[in-house]
Chain A
Amino acid sequence: MAPSLEEPTQVDLDAPLKEKPSLVAPEPEHCPGPESQQAGTAESCTGCPNQKICASAPKGPDPDIPLITSRLSSVRHKILVLSGKGGVGKSTFSTMLAHAFSSNPSHTVGLMDTDICGPSIPKMMGVENETIHVTAAGWEPVWVSDNLGVMSVQFMLPGRDDAVIWRGAKKNGLIKRFLKDVCWGEMDVLVVDTPPGTSDEHLSVNALLKEAGVDGAVVVSTPQEVALLDVRKELDFCKKAGIRVLGIVENMSGFVCPGCRHESKIFRASTGGARRLAEEMGIRFLGAVPLDPRIGMACDYGESFLEAYPESPACVAIQEVVRAVGEELGLERGEVFGE
């Protein structure tokens, strides 16, 4: 069979995410999605053994969305941390953001990890060995400090090295339970960390949170074109999905040698880096954070880099970025750190 070179079909971004009906055969390639509005009636459904099942499944918006919306109605600001590329520091930046906002004692901050195959938030927060408490009201997040709660799939795994070998549909189900069953309570900021790419997790988070209202997304990048290539795709995703981009952060930009104070560009911005990209796309450039080996170390030990090295250039840069994010959220300048 000769393969087709046709334009890949785009999925329906607004498709409600209901429980999918139980199928008798695997979903075919051009399946509109058993949960979608066109399920069973689309052109590509002709001849599919699941057609009848899909067609008779209840249509309309997901009945769980109002539940999620009411659950999250007490959360003032919701921020997504995105990047098309892996390993650019999404999780690191998410933890920094959470730590920074929670440094104001009058704030309550939540951090949700939606990376199911490679969750790193619990380790970075130093709560790796915790498990979830289930109360009558729902799942209780793990509290790192008095005003900082964390939720991750890692807390539900029996062994911390176990691989989570799940297909997309199963991951979506878990993300939904996270949003529906975790009682975040009264919260000022909820930071949602995402896995790399533009696939199931991102579509679910977007579809489920649309009603509840997301303030916007912070996009993280590194300076090289190899990373920017993927970040452009992520920005395109945000545009198509109607997610407001709060701004771009450039991570790992420049490295100061501890021996001779010479600054080298480990990851060279041959195409102008994230700053140029931000200009091109008309998006706010939130700032550049230099590479500091101590950031990685602080993450490995689950400590807050911001508290440990408040004087370092990287810390100052991060605080500036957090202030900028605060501004975009409409917080007062002094409100972010409680100064």
Chain B
Amino acid sequence: MPHENIKHIVLVLSGKGGVGKSSITTQLALSLSLRGHTIGVLDIDLTGPSIPRFFGIEEAKVRQAPGGWIPVSVHDEQVLSPLPLPLSSQKPAGEAKNEEQRIGALSCMSLGFILANRNDAVIWRGPKKTAMVKQFLTDVLWPPLDYLLIDTPPGTSDEHISLLENLHLQTSSPSAPRNQLAGAVVVTTPQAISISDVKKELNFCKKTGIRVLGVVENMAGFVCPNCKECTNVFSKGGGEVMAREFEVPFLGSVPIDPQFVELVEEGTRPVYPEGTIIAGKDVGGEVGVEDEKRKEGLLVDKYRSCSLWPLFDGIVGGLDEDIRSRDV
């Protein structure tokens, strides 16, 4: 059986589309990697794979080796130099994060790497999708991983059924590491419409025996870059109420950050206007990088300048502890 070298598998699920499953998967992967873990990301959204775009590796193609596919590497294990200090140096130097950082390797697998043309529609019926998901789960030659994150399409249909059938089969074999199938992170947005779909997903987890690691509420609030007023574009608080109702942990609310969108879309290092406060922390002020150099560097390095990183660092810290506490 393959995958004995993967310590934990975490699914990212949501009943609703467009709530940010791929975006959350990306940020969980980057934050875990920044904590020094070795990470793999598997994208099983077959008709709309977005993971290649999020990691900025759309042009990459998957390579074939005897015995399987080799996933595409986003970055190798390495040491990142400290974050540049603000040019004006108003902020006290030597904050906890301002030191060299060892990061773990990150690699990805997606159907997007296999398609010949990125605009072509993948028009597959159920059995073909089922076979592809199975192949993704058995035939990818992952390096030894601390975490494999699996990004899923919306819904509770073919992809999900075959994913769980195969995972249950693999992780229940005696050679699999203990607690390998750690559980699922469920993503929602705050509106009632989204919540009602996501409740179905929570019931799906219950029926299929997947532990819910927690609920993340995405797109909760938008901070106007002009007046710093926070607007709840898609209302707020729905995720937390739902988590309480289903007695699952609530991992946190993630605001909309246009700078993160820009980081993904254009690869620019995030910069915030003076005095921007997100999650009670002042993230404003210029970063010590000139404008023309903002596009340089690895995605994971630039992500350290994003206001969402401290938030996700907290989330993955909690997840990591929770998952590891169940290993024994």
Footprint of B on A, CB under 8 Å? 1-3, 5, 7-11, 13, 26-31, 33, 84-88, 91, 116-118, 120, 123-124, 160-169, 171, 195-200, 202-203, 222, 224-227, 229-230, 232-234, 236-237, 240-241, 255, 257-260, 262, 264-268, 270-271, 291, 293, 296-297, 299-300
Contact = CB atoms under 8 A, between A and B. Distances in A.
A266 B154 contact: no
Interface stretch (B3-11, B95-103, B227-235): B227-235
Interface string B14-26: 0111110010000
Interface in B180-236: 189, 191-194, 196-197, 199-204, 207-208, 222, 224-227, 229, 231-235
B66 interface: yes
B155 interface: yes
- Among A11, A257, A258, residue most surrounded by chain B Cβ atoms (within 10 Å): A257
Interface residues of B, number: 78
Given A87-B16, A117-B15, A118-B15, A257 B193 contact: no
- Among B62, B119, B128, B155, residue most surrounded by chain A Cβ atoms (within 10 Å): B155
A7 B123 contact: no
Given A165-B157, A237-B123, A118 B264 contact: no
Contacts of B156: 117, 163-166
Given A3-B68, A165-B204, A300-B235, A268 B261 contact: yes
Does more than half of chain A's interface fall in helix, strand or loop, or is it mixed? loop
Contact of B154 (A33, A118, A164, A171): A118
Contact of B64 (A2, A165, A264, A267): A2
B153 interface: yes
B155 A117 contact: yes
B54 interface: yes
B265 interface: yes
Contact of B201 (A163, A200, A237): A163
Contacts of A234: 121
Interface stretch (B45-53, B291-299, B319-327): B45-53
Nearest to A195: B155
B118 interface: yes
A86 B208 CA distance: 24
Contacts of A33: 125
Given A85-B48, A164-B200, A199 B124 contact: yes
Contacts of B229: 257-260
Contacts, number: 249
Nearest to B21: A86
Contact of A5 (B18, B114, B119, B196): B114
B306 to A, nearest CB: 15
A233 B47 CA distance: 8
A240 B64 contact: no
A163 B233 CA distance: 27
A226 B191 contact: no
B180 to A, nearest CB: 22
Given A29-B127, A268-B262, A86 B16 contact: yes
B17 A85 contact: yes
Given A196-B17, A266-B256, A258 B200 contact: no
Nearest to B194: A87
B44 to A, nearest CB: 12
A162 B197 contact: no
Contacts of A267: 261
Contacts of A161: 196, 199-200, 202-203
Contact of A3 (B22, B50, B69, B155): B69
B154 A86 contact: yes
Contacts of B203: 161-163
Contact of B226 (A233, A260, A265): A260
Given A84-B47, A87-B18, A299-B193, A167 B161 contact: yes
B128 A11 contact: yes
B139 interface: yes
